[in-house]
């Protein structure tokens, strides 16, 4: 039977949403229903969060032709892909199993239909990909997802892009990265509990919903949701987090790792339309990979649920 951990319960209580959270608990299972398995089989992308060998949390995206996500049984997900060699999670995923299973969080998202599915478990290397034993399978609502369609680069174009791929590392955002984050309408966040159980989730809003307060400090609003507080609950126990901001037009990814602080101050929150809470993220390391994905996406149709941006 699904339960919440102490961090999730603490946030639910502080937000005065314990009753709603108790109702939402019915959306957490430990197996993949047939309709969800069919959904996964159609997806070309999944976002994965985990911890690197230095103990830092990162989020990344894995891609493949539809069918690269398979559910051989309701408690298992097979991902026929691994992170790029340049990815901060590459070493952990490549060695998953040989050095002990990797605890990972995942979210599959289909922007065209605003559907998403969240899964958490332990992964081991399986040929050219991963086999994940699932602990949690979570139903999520479509709020704050921007509608997009996609196409995949032809093999020749993908090969050219991969050949010209560049990697940029840093400890703070550059001016261009500042612009990318401050105009983003979507990012993904990876967190882990104090026991290391990982989770990956989606955050969306109108461009500008993420504020860059400095090259090393971001802030975003926590909007109305399902009251589970799986992300904030983890952050209550373990403030480390990883973000990935995809460039939907170029396939590049901007990955950040650092620590967070949940802002509960009513006056601060009131200044941000739609915010129920705020989250501040202190950047510790940055990795930008050009042409990380072969997927290219159309301009967004913004969710009607997105609050305005001040």
Structure confidence by residue, pLDDT tens digits, 95-105: 998 878 999 99
| Average confidence (pLDDT) over 137-157 | 94
pLDDT of 99 reads 79
| Domain membership flag for residue 283 | yes
Is pLDDT of 68 > 90? yes
The answer to whether position 151 is within a domain reads yes
CB 259 within 8 A of CB 241: yes
Residue whose token pair is 């949701």? 225
The closest alpha carbon to 263, from 252, 255, 271, belongs to: 271
CATH of the domain at 220: 2.30.110.10
Helices (H), the chain: 6-14, 18-24, 34-41, 90-94, 155-163, 175-182, 230-237, 266-270
Question: What is the rounded CA–CA span in Å between residue 147 and residue 128?
Answer: 31
pLDDT average, residue stretch 57-85:
98
Confidence (pLDDT) at 155: 93
pLDDT of residue 139: 85
Does 223 reside within a domain?
Answer: yes
Those residues whose C-beta lies under 8 Å from the C-beta of residue 246, and which sit 6 or more positions away, are 61, 186, 187, 188, 252, 253, 254, 293
Whether residue 310 lies inside any domain: the answer is no
Say if 307 falls within a structural domain: no
Phi and psi for 75 in degrees, rounded to 5? -105, 10
Which three-class secondary structure state does DSSP give residue 288? Answer: strand
Residue 108 maps to a domain: yes
Determine the Cα–Cα distance for residues 259 and 56; give it in Å rounded to an integer: 9
pLDDT tens, 171-203?
999 999 999 999 999 999 999 999 999 999 999
- At residue 240, the pLDDT reads 98
Domains: count for the chain: 1
pLDDT at 1 over 80: no
Does 218 score more than 90 pLDDT? yes
Q: Give yes or no for a contact between 190 and 197, defined as CB atoms under 8 angstroms apart.
A: no
Average pLDDT, stretch 253-260?
A: 98
Cβ atoms within 10 Å of 169's Cβ, excluding its own: 12
Residue with tokens 């680069």: 153
Task: Give the pLDDT score at 11.
Answer: 98
Quote the mean pLDDT of the chain. 97
> In this model, does residue 289 exceed pLDDT 90?
yes
pLDDT value at residue 97: 86
Quote the domain boundaries for residue 125.
21-297
The helix-helix angle for 6-14 and 230-237 (nearest 10°) equals: 110
Mean pLDDT confidence for 138-155: 94
Asked whether residue 42 is assigned to any structural domain, the reply reads yes
pTM here is 0.97
Cβ-Cβ contacts under 8 Å for 79 (sequence gap 6 or more)? 46, 48, 62, 64, 68, 69, 123, 129, 130, 131, 132
177: enclosing H helix or E strand: helix 175-182
What pLDDT sits at residue 110? Answer: 97
**Per-residue pLDDT at 257:** 98
In a domain, 9, yes or no: no
């Amino acid at each position: 039977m699904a339960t919440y951990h102490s961090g999730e319960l603490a946030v639910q209580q502080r937000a005065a949403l314990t009753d709603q959270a108790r109702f939402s608990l019915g959306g957490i299972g430990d197996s993949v229903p047939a309709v969800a398995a069919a959904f996964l089989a159609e997806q070309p992308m999944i976002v994965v969060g985990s911890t690197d060998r230095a103990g830092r949390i990162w989020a990344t995206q894995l891609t493949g032709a539809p069918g690269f996500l398979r559910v051989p049984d309701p408690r298992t997900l097979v991902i026929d892909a691994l992170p790029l060699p340049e990815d901060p999670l590459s070493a952990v995923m490549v060695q998953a199993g040989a050095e002990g299973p990797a605890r990972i969080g995942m979210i599959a998202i289909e922007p065209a239909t605003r559907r998403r599915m969240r899964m958490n478990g332990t992964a081991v290397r399986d040929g050219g990909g991963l086999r994940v034993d699932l602990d949690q399978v979570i139903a999520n609502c479509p709020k704050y997802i921007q509608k997009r369609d996609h196409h995949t680069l032809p093999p020749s174009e993908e090969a050219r892009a991969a050949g010209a791929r560049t990697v940029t590392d840093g400890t703070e955002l550059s001016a261009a990265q500042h612009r990318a984050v401050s105009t983003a309408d979507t990012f993904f966040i990876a967190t882990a509990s104090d026991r290391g159980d990982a989770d990956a989730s989606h955050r969306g809003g109108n461009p500008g919903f993420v504020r860059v307060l400095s090259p090393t400090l971001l802030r975003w609003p926590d909007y109305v949701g399902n009251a589970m507080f799986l992300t904030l609950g983890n952050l209550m126990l373990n403030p480390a987090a990883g973000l990935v901001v995809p460039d939907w037009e170029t396939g590049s990814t901007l990955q950040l790792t650092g620590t967070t602080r949940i802002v509960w101050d009513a006056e601060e929150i009131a200044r941000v339309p739609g915010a129920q809470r705020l989250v501040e993220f202190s950047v510790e390391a940055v990795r930008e990979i050009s042409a990380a994905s072969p997927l290219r996406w159309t301009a967004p149709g913004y969710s009607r649920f997105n609050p305005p941006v001040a």
